Structure 1
């Protein structure tokens, strides 16, 4: 039974070997190799020439700059065509290169020249000319010589009748066998040439693991930025709707109830008490709504900036506040919003939990484009971000823009909160 299985396996392999020259994969691989040869050869010749010119004229910066620009542009074009060839003929998608930052022309050229991925692409086009030429020569040679030698018995009589050509049957039989071997080996040669082509493309054209991770981090950062901006825009929309709609209706209701409370003097005590209670409830609801609107997104922050917004909450604070704000320019909108809520939450904690008598706040932008916030109070201390949601929420807000937050609050006080927010975020 084992012998039969072995015989069937051997016969199957032999049948596959004999059918290989006629298989679609053999012709597909051959097409890939031969189609890529002229592109690889032309790209290699042009890239090597441009490199040689660039190196030879390196002492003249005026000529090197346009040569480098042309080299990188041609490299990108050849890379695009090679990716299209592999995708169209083999269905293999080589990931695109990581996006370069948008800069002016000269600075962008310098950034591209310092990027490893750029020179990997240049190296690919330099090597692809060698490997592509070698693969095309081998594949075409195996197919051509195989077809020529395997059929020599049919066309050997056409050879010129000279003494240098041996027309003996043994020579023709040997050439026929050699031709059949070349034909049978041609699919394997084409398949290996394609593997070399794909391997070289994946190694030098595809982003490396570190570049892929960096690109993913960049994508996630951009997505996070969009989500934060969308959430901030939604808060502003809700704040405007509440301010222009619900809050105005409550103001009108409170005014009408106040007028009724003042003018309706000859009504039963029960009705008067109900009006007075409704008036107080309306004023309380209006006050709570204003706090809610201010907590969603303060309108003054958009209109007048962070300095005015912080001055407003410092003036409303039940604890005396000394505020110093030094901003040479307005920070990004998201950073302004987070800074506002950091100060607002700190003042709330100082009044509600620390029972402080004085709060000092310093908000300034350092030279390295970082917004620094320092909030200190003389309260009883003991603030711990792990024990409450307020400080934990602040830490999450700060971390959403890659900021840092540290708090020093021993038992008995004082408490010192330090927050840094990158303004180049």
Structure 2
């Protein structure tokens, strides 16, 4: 009996060579469509940039020159700062739209505290804002590159005209950039100049993409570091918010529901003792215990609603805030305009902020009216503002209601701004990413 020969195996693929690298892809800013867009942007900046530079120079000169004259120069310097911000904002939006870099929009700084001192600090922080200056620097470099691009465009057009010199050169000689060129050599020179100009334009467009990524677009390491920093801040806010919430629940249980339940137990004990001797008194005690039990149930329901409102999941933020305004001890004017639903965390953070603000207003502000405004802004943030006409002077204290709002919103990736001067009014603004 013979054993069949094994079937011949297909030759295996040769092992990959040591050190072999994956094919490299061209960067996004080198695609033909983006190169064409970059060239168009640079040409436009070559015209607009010098005009903006002239306006900035005039504002700076007028501001410094007229500063001793009753401080009039401050107005020009203020215009200079916010024109720089406008240029930085436009440049950031231009780079993001051109290269699809996912850059967040440049945001104007806000006053860290109320009053004129807060306004001056806001202007100073805006003036030293690093992202704004990076965008302005990139705009200045792009303006220079755009000016060079316009010159190269002129050379490109002139080279095309030069290539047809034999058709119009009467004496067999033509002029190009101050040089005399024989008509017979003109087509060759024109083609060479055309190719060199076109290559230079493409090179400038590529250089603009490289510089934009270096100056404006954060590196991968910087993005990861910023995400790690934001995650740490949010985690700290979430831990602090949970600690404050736990303390509040313990306090509410200890001061409210627990004594009431103890009282119910004692009342039922007395009723049990009097059940045989004095049935009428026992019946009255049982009715008192029943009333106290219903009150304890109401307090527990309110406590649970303070932790999370079920109507928020069922019917959304608008309905939850309407119910909240209906239970408020202060008249509330509610203005909510939402096209759809945001994430559960975002809606819960805003609901908690509004609820705690209304509670604080009822306890401390002596306000006669509150106004609550809620919107979804164009940048995808859920924004709410709570304003009362009370006495003002609200401050963030560790473990207080405003501290809980700050930590809750911070954990959802949002920001809080409090404006409460002495004498009122008090305004609290909350912004939370809608998809947080």
Tell me which protein shows more helix as a share of its residues.
1
Larger radius of gyration: 1
TM-score (norm 1): 0.46
- Give the TM-score of the pair, scaled to structure 2: 0.45
